[in-house]
Amino acid sequence: MYRLNVVIYHTRPAQQISLHQACNAQGIFNVRIADNLITATTLLARRRAPDLLIIDHAMPSADGKALLQHLSLTCPSTALLLIGQPRPAHLDIAQQARQKGLWVVNELAWPLSMPALQRTLQRVGGSRHKPAVSDFQTVMMRAHAH
């Protein structure tokens, strides 16, 4: 599998850590975390766009619309993985993304299935042929990594 560049946009720290560790368990170490829309759009605007954006399916509608608009303009080839369930009477982010022509690679529910995540990462990795990048983020702080 190619080394993927992943951004996780989720507002709950416990889910951020869980998703980050799940990616690490699958051999994906170039993972960035965003807990708000500004950080997410900043990470999307980097020189190397992420291969995969993992987002909360139940994010607020305004954030979802803004994120999809930004994604469609700056990095439309980035795959989307939605985690959780959409909130009733709110924006269905997956449907909106597909209408914008974005690639929704999968929608997974909690608790996260590791085999389903692995298949999803393989689908994304199989479509990308980018060299590994050395800047990656770990769950622990750099000062504690001896």
Query: Mind listing the pLDDT tens digit for each residue in 101-142?
Result: 999 999 999 999 999 999 999 999 875 534 344 444 444 444
Q: How many angstroms separate the CA atoms of 68 and 117, rounded?
A: 22
Query: Mind listing the pLDDT tens digit for each residue in 31-88?
Result: 999 999 999 999 998 888 899 999 999 898 899 999 999 999 999 999 999 999 888 8
pTM: 0.83
Q: For domain 5-126, give the CATH number.
A: 3.40.50.2300
Could you give the C-alpha distances from 98 to 44, 72, 78, 92, 94, in angstroms and in order?
Answer: 18, 11, 12, 10, 6
Domain residue extents for the chain: 5-126
